[in-house]
Amino acid sequence: MLIFTVSYKIPVFYYFRLIFVLPAFYLITALGIVGLKPTWRNAAIGLVVAINLCASFYYLGNSKFHREDWRGLVNYVEEHSTKDFKVLFVADSQMEAYNYYSEMKNFSGPDAVSNSFDTIWLMKYVQPIFDPNDTLRKKVEDLGYVKAEEFDFNGVVVWRYKR
């Protein structure tokens, strides 16, 4: 009930925030089914299993419920970049996922902003938290770079800047 009340101000009904209550829900449902008459018990079990299977297939098959696509982002950036590019992050602490998948290791934090690159990939991932004034974007644009494209890899947003 508390989560329902809080959800009017904060979006707490995301699937990953409430998935921990699923085992308790199953136990309560099983206790309710045990109390039914034997004729209704089989129908209730079949209904619960059918709903569970449909919901599981929908959850697992829908890409919007998948995690951020860091692998896809790194592959796209490294395949669609010239030799002279840089991937910039708004904070030094946000580069670990990119580092894990990257072979080129051509990324850095906000201190590496310079006009010596043909292409800059500006990571907007968690930018509202670590750079609420959007100063890194302003620095990149002040150096003469122009935003060419914007990509979203399931929650990981990156902007491509060119000279």
Do 48 and 22 belong together in one domain?
yes
Do 119 and 81 belong together in one domain?
yes
**Of 6 and 90, more confident:** 90
**Of 17 and 36, more confident:** 36
Q: Long-range CB contacts (< 8 A, 24+ apart) of 90-99? A: 90/123, 90/124, 90/125, 90/126, 90/127, 90/130, 90/131, 90/136, 91/126, 91/130, 91/131, 93/130, 94/123, 94/125, 94/126, 94/130, 97/68, 97/70, 98/70, 98/73, 98/74, 98/123
Label residue 11 by pLDDT band (50, 70, 90).
low
Do 15 and 88 belong together in one domain?
no
Do 43 and 86 belong together in one domain?
no
Do 44 and 116 belong together in one domain?
no
Do 76 and 154 belong together in one domain?
yes
Count of domains forming the chain: 2
pLDDT, tens only, 105-159: 889 988 888 888 999 999 998 888 899 999 999 999 999 999 999 999 988 999 9
Range of the domain at 129: 70-162
Residues 75-79, mean pLDDT to the nearest whole number: 93
Q: Is-above-0.85 flag for pTM?
A: no
